[in-house]
Structures are given as C-alpha cells and as structure tokens.
Amino acid sequence: MAFYKFGKKDILRNVVKAYPNNTFFVNDGHVYYNNRNEISGAHVDNVQNIPTGFVSLYGLNVDRAFADHTYDPDADTGVKAKIYPFITKDSSLNSFATISTTNFNQFQYGDVITGSYPLSASVVRETFVSNHGNLFPTGSHMLALKNTMNYYQPLSPRYAFSSSFFGDKAIQECTLLSIPSIFYGSTIRKNSVKLSFYISGTLVAACEDINRNGELIQTSGSSYASGIGSGSCAGMVLYNEGFIVLTGSWNLTEENYNFGGGAAKGKWLDFFAGGNDGATPVTPSASFDLTFQGTNYINTIAMHADAGLGELNFSPNPTFTSYNTSGAPSTSGTTAYVQNNAVTIKNTISSSFYDYDAKQKRQTFITKIGIYDEHKNLIAVANLAKPIKKHEDNDYTFRLKLDI
C-alpha cells in the first residue's frame, strides 16, 4: 500500500460562519421547537425520551424503554435498558458536577456514582413580581444579571439595571427568557430576534431588535396594540449570554385572558406563558412565537490528495492478478520481501471486438482514500461515490473536506 505525505499547500484550514434558524412556538402549555412533534418508536411513544420543545445534548437512549431498566450497578444485577454515565469513587475523587460535596462524601470508596441520560434543554420562562429584589434578595436570576446588563449600557441606556428614566429592574415586574447556548452557539445574531403574540391565531403584536442594539421594539400588531405601544421598547436582548428581559407592561389586548396569573389584559410580560414556567392554566387561544438566529463557527479542513501520472496503478487485491497464476504473488520473512516474477497481471481493459483482447494497460479503480497520522495510524477514511478508473496516463486530485 502506497503512502503519500501531504504538502504544505495540500491542507487548507478555514472557518465557516453559519446562522442556524431557531423557532419556539408555545400554545396551551406546550412548547414546539422548529415545528417538531413527538415521533413514536418500536418501544416508546417518544423515541427521543425528551419533551417536545427540548433537544437532546448527546442523542442517547433513543427509543429505549426506561421502565424496563432494573440494573443495580452496586450489585451488578438486573436488566440494562438504558445508557447512563457512571464513576467509581476512588482516590482521584472524580465526580459529576451535579453531585454536591455533601452527597459525594456519603459514598464509600468503590461505590459507583451514576447519572442519567438524555441531557436536554429548552427555553425557560421566569416571572418576577414587583419589588422582587427586596422580597428575594438572594438566589434571583434577575439580580444575577445586574453587572452583565450594566456592561452593555454603551449599546443602549435601556440596559441600565437601575435608571431614573427606565426604572429599576429589581423593583419593576419582569419576565426573563433563558435560552441555552446549544441553540445559538457563540452568540444570538443581531437583528434576527422576533417575538410574536397571538390570540386565536391572529397577530396581536410583534417586536423585533430592528436597531441591532438589543432593544426589542414593537413593530406591528392589531390596531388596538399599535395605538398604545407602537415603537415602544418591550425589553432587551443579551446576545452573548442568551437572555431576553421583557419589561413591556402596556396592554396588548382589549379583553381579559388567563396567562397563568388570573384574568387580565395581555402584556409583553405575559409573552411565552406556559413555556416551561409551570404556569397553569393558560388560555388555549393564546400562542407565542419566538424566532432568532444563532451564530456557529465551524472549523473546516480541506485536504488535496494527488494520484499522479504513473502512480497507483498496482493493487494488492487478489483480483489484480490472473486466475491461473501459479504460486503466491509474494513471500515475506524477517529479512526480505520477494515478489513472484511468474505472476501475471490480469488484463481488465475491455475490447469493442468479439473474442479479442485489448492492449494490456495497468488499470486500477480507486474506491477509498485513507488518512493517517505521523505514526501511520488510520484516523479517517473517505469513500468515493463511485470507483474512479486510474490509468498510468491519468492524474487526479481528490479534495477531501472535513467539518469539525
């Protein structure tokens, strides 16, 4: 088998910047991500084993019945029906991040500490009542964003956590939407965020970050909602951190609806009600749509593999030699490798004439290209869509692309 070394100009490294689309739709307490529904499998009704509106981090335990899992790792008995992470407690003191120090100390050396899959994530909605900063001075996710929001004040003064013009977010009512980074990658793309508020399928109001500075400006909606809040700022977007803070408290609907806190007119504070917030009941006629684009940087490697003139025209494949050849094609030992001179190469050149052999040519068919490291360990294989015929007077360059 021939080995060739890549030259300096044979390997090209690039970065592709991609903007994946994300859509979350909420209705009647159910969240749907990119219009995906549950898919039934052979063993469970939901093959992903995660709720709708969620994504699985590793895609494990697909179509597995958790109820059949009875395995006890300490006793090494029972039925293994699902994949799970485990660590044996030893002197290295390794553990899972979800295990507290107190719980870890309760395990004995040699005990098996287990976790669970799948790990999943979705957008989570939190609401904060008036004066929540004084009522809950510690443990508030809203208060934890104080320094982050103040950091972005040069983009817009509305980022100020406390301002005489735009209020104190530790006191005013707020709604916080938390978007896990698995959906947006490095950052949320500016001018891609749109919030749509529907009642009975009719658009009541919509707001967008049209100024690319994090401000969510109400841009469209019903005549009632537009007459009150058109052009007003309903909240702010933290692009790098994946948070949306809603503070818009003006009325969007003329009638009262239940968004989890009793009958009242709809506001931007009610947006995403029923979306992983535990709010029940939520009026079934209300629905919400959140769309945005993420930003992903994909490292790519392009490798050029050359098959030059007069090269790669021999093959160790047994079909490369004639069937009636006597003896082995080659012999090898500890000191030598000797080819059999009596071995004849099979003529695979087809002829257009009956009972006539075309002129002998060295011909091979390239089907795969292997990539090896400096120690000649196979690390990747490129399979061609169809075999490429290679003669001595042909030269080819194969472009191999790998996304990391």
pLDDT in tens, 102-143: 999 999 999 989 888 889 999 999 999 888 877 777 768 999
Same domain, 375 and 340: yes
Q: Is residue 222 part of a domain?
A: yes
More confident residue, 324 or 313: 313
Percent of the chain with pLDDT over 90: 54
pLDDT at 391 over 90: no
pLDDT-derived band of residue 310, with 50, 70 and 90 as boundaries? confident
Is cis: bond before 154, omega within 30 of 0? no
Q: Phi and psi (nearest 5°) for 393?
A: -95, 15
Please indicate, yes or no, if residue 24 is contained in any of the structural domains. Answer: no
Number of domains forming the structure of the chain: 3
31 touches 275 (CB < 8 A)? yes
Mean pLDDT of the chain: 88
pLDDT tens digits, 5-54 = 999 899 999 999 999 999 999 998 899 999 988 888 888 888 989 989 99
Q: 366 and 304 in one domain?
A: yes
Q: What tokens does 337 get?
A: 């490798």
Q: For position 330, what pLDDT does the model report?
A: 67
76 and 146 assigned to the same domain? no
pLDDT of the residue at 328: 60
Residue 399 class from Cβ within 10 Å (0-12 exposed, 13-18 middle, 19+ buried)? exposed
Q: Is residue 236 part of a domain?
A: yes
CA distance 231 to 234: 9
Q: Residue 361 in 3-state DSSP?
A: coil
Tokens of 343: 């071995």
List, in order, residues 6 or more apart from 46 with CB less than 8 Å away: 38, 39, 40
Cβ count near 257 (within 10 Å) = 18
Q: Which of 121, 152, 176 is the last residue of a domain?
A: 121
338 within some domain: yes
The pLDDT of residue 326 is above 60:
no
Band (pLDDT 50/70/90 cuts) for residue 325 is low
The pLDDT of residue 373 is above 80 = yes
Query: Do 265 and 151 share a structural domain?
Result: yes
Does residue 48 fall inside a structural domain?
Answer: no
Give the separation between CA 177 and CA 179, rounded to whole angstroms: 6
CA distances from 30 to 49, 197, 278, 336 (A): 16, 15, 11, 72
Model confidence at 177, in pLDDT bands (50, 70, 90)?
A: very high
> What pLDDT does residue 186 have?
95
If asked whether residues 216 and 346 sit together in one domain, one would say no
**Of 121, 139, 167, which residue sits at a domain end?**
121
Radius of gyration of the chain from Cα atoms? 32
Find the distance separating the first CA and the last CA of the chain, reported in whole Å. 28
- 194 φψ region: left (φ > 0), alpha (ψ -120 to 50), beta (else): beta
- Residue whose tokens read 């490129």: 382
- Does 294 lie in the same domain as 145? yes
Q: Is residue 240, in this structure, part of any structural domain at all?
A: yes
Give the Cα separation of 156 and 109 in Å (integer): 54
pLDDT at res. 1: 65
| Residue 182 shares a structural domain with residue 234 | yes
- Nearest C-alpha neighbor of 152 from the set 218, 229, 209: 209
Please check whether residues 191 and 303 belong to one and the same domain. Answer: no
- Cα 143–144–149 angle (5° rounding)? 85
- Residue finishing a domain among 298, 318, 345: 298
Please indicate, yes or no, whether residues 197 and 319 belong to a single structural domain of this protein: no
Q: Which amino acid is at 17?
A: K
3-state DSSP assignment of residue 102: helix
| In the predicted structure, residue 57 carries a pLDDT above the cut 70 | yes
- Tell me whether residue 82 is in a domain: yes
**More confident site: 66 or 145:** 145
Average pLDDT over residues 376-384: 93
Q: Is residue 12 part of a domain?
A: no
Confidence label for 69 from pLDDT (cuts 50, 70 and 90):
confident
Range of lowest pLDDT (171-185, 202-216, 339-353): 339-353
Amino acid residing at 247: T
Task: Answer yes or no: do 76 and 184 share one domain.
Answer: no
Helix (H, G, I), strand (E, B) or coil at 132: helix
Assess whether 149 and 243 both reside in one domain.
yes
| β-pair partners for 290 | 24, 195
User: Which residues span the domain enclosing 74?
Assistant: 54-121
- Please indicate, yes or no, whether residues 236 and 342 belong to a single structural domain of this protein: no
